[in-house]
Amino acid sequence: MFETSYETLLCDSPRQGVARITLNRPQAMNAYSFAMTQELQAAIAAFRDDDGLRALLVTGAGERAFCTGGDIGGSEPEHSRAVAAAPMGHGREMRDGMQAVVLALRRLDKPSVAMIRGYAVAGGLALALACDLRVAAASAKLGDTSNKVGLLPDEGGAWLFPRAMGFDRALKMSLLHEIYDAATAERLGLVTEVVEDAGLEARALLLCETLAAKAPLAVRLTKMMMAKALETSLEASMVDAQVAVMVTNPSADVREGIAAFREKRPPKFKGS
């Protein structure tokens, strides 16, 4: 069940077909703890496996931050001591923690939207970029502050940042630990859309609701095809498309879509 009780997250379904995961550590600017990464993986899996949920909204509680990366304030001292004492402990913590969250989001065959208010920096920026679309408030701030304290863009940022903004700009952002306003972040490719602060939630929910109303088979396969195409050739991508149309074209959703077009009415897609 998606709407499960968590210690570090709030999970609900604010619109038909839409799931929302809210990082709920506002006192720490939604910095992630290892416990939060475990709950995030569980919540993402619950969304993935619920056929009634078709779009995911990821956001942070409060006005100050979407997520400011890993919590370096010492909120989990026993866990930190165990990591430091274990062979390859830091690598395993990253693998089983936020890296697993980023991979879980990237592997979803349903669309995800990050709603960003306040700061999305370091691992928080990687989390936002792991989502398919990013809607930011005009007052939001985005960047990579990892190097500022000697840390690395290790949650997936070293792969995600250059693909969003280009190698040289990503390297400059990380090495100089730059933070950008929302308009600059949009120009650089880190943000999909910027809206006024007061309209942020309404716009993000409308976007998710619109995605949830689309034909699920077509949405999922379109996302899968485009994601795979980033790592393959045009010819291979076209072969993938040939296979995919054998799923979508004979489907009931396509028949419904064509009937709705001819009858001049909104389609009612069921995902079959």
pLDDT per position as a tens digit, 220-251:
999 999 999 999 999 999 999 999 999 999 99
Q: Residue 214's closest CA among 268, 164, 154, 258?
A: 268
Per-residue tokens: 139: 């007052």
d(CA 161, CA 93): 22
Location of structure tokens 């509680």: 61
Q: Tokens for 167, please give them.
A: 């190698």
Residue 203: which pLDDT band, with cuts at 50, 70 and 90? very high
The predicted pLDDT at position 61 comes to 98
Architecture of domain 216-263: Orthogonal Bundle (1.10)
Beta strands in the chain (DSSP E): 9-15, 18-23, 55-60, 65-67, 112-116, 119-121, 133-137, 141-143, 179-181, 193-195
User: Measured between alpha carbons, how far is residue 246 from residues 55, 110, 243, 252 in Å?
Assistant: 24, 19, 5, 13
Among 75-79, 174-178, 231-235, name the most confident range. Answer: 174-178
H-helix or E-strand spanning residue 126? helix 123-130
SS3 234: helix
CA-closest candidate to residue 162, choices 193, 125, 133, 116: 125
pLDDT class for 72, splitting at 50, 70, 90? confident
pLDDT at 1 over 70: no
pLDDT digits (tens, 9 = 90+) for 78-108: 777 776 767 787 888 889 999 999 999 999 9
Domain layout of the chain by residue ranges: 9-212, 216-263
The domain made up of 9-212 has a fold known as: 2-enoyl-CoA Hydratase; Chain A, domain 1 (3.90.226)
Q: Which amino acid is at 100?
A: A
d(CA 144, CA 16) in angstroms, rounded, equals 35
> For residue 15, what are the β-bridge partners?
18
Two tokens at 67?
């997520």
Residue-averaged pLDDT of the chain: 94
